[in-house]
Amino acid sequence: MTANKGKNVPEKQTSIIPNIQAYRNIIVQVIQSSLEEIGFMEILPVQEQSPYDESIDRYRADILIEDPHAGEIQLIMPRTVLEIIAENVYTMEKQELSDETLNDIISEMINIIAGSLMRLWTPPSQVFHLGLPSVGQEAFLQVDISKDSLEFDMEGSPFWLVMRGEVFMEPPAGN
């Protein structure tokens, strides 16, 4: 059962979450260039959300946008995607990877992605500030908010990005 499918939940309740699909192409380009540039595998956008699969072992990282306007970006990656990245960065075998290493990788990924997105969403004359990434359990895909996520594919495994907040209500500043 999803959170806002009931008749009593007004449409406006989710209005703080921008329709990131409107900026989909721009965001896709940012993600692709951010991750592919450091030698990772090819990143492809996925048009239709995969059905929720609770058997996937997922990791989540959040980063707060503190300035010039409030916002939040979330990155959700299955262990398989983080293992692909780890192999490319560390040349480490899967069995050598600890949770700490995987959390460090997803934290750095969201840091890079958030910076790349904020460069687009902030005028060049304005400094932007990001909080420190935090990691935690993933649960968002089970609720209706997941319609505001963008799904990507890396080597046949999905991963997701969610952008929330007033900073993303406007189109990119066009940097």
The residues of the shown chain that bind other proteins, judged by CB under 8 A, are 34-35, 37-38, 89-90, 101, 104-105, 107-108, 111-112, 114-116, 118-119, 122, 124-130, 132, 175
Longest dimension (CA), the chain: 52
CB of 20 to other proteins, least distance (A): 19
Which CB atom, from 42 or from 53, has the smaller least distance to other proteins?
42
Cβ atoms of 145 and 3 within 8 Å: the answer is yes
**Helix-helix angle 24-37:99-121, to 10 degrees:** 130
CB of 133 to other proteins, least distance (A): 8
Which CB atom, from 145 or from 173, has the smaller least distance to other proteins?
173
Cβ atoms of 119 and 112 within 8 Å: the answer is no
- If we measure between CA atoms, which residue out of 153, 157, 149 comes closest to residue 42? 153
Structure tokens at 50: 């995969």
Which CB atom, from 103 or from 157, has the smaller least distance to other proteins?
103
| Residue 77 β-bridge partners | 59
CB of 40 to other proteins, least distance (A): 9
Which CB atom, from 116 or from 146, has the smaller least distance to other proteins?
116
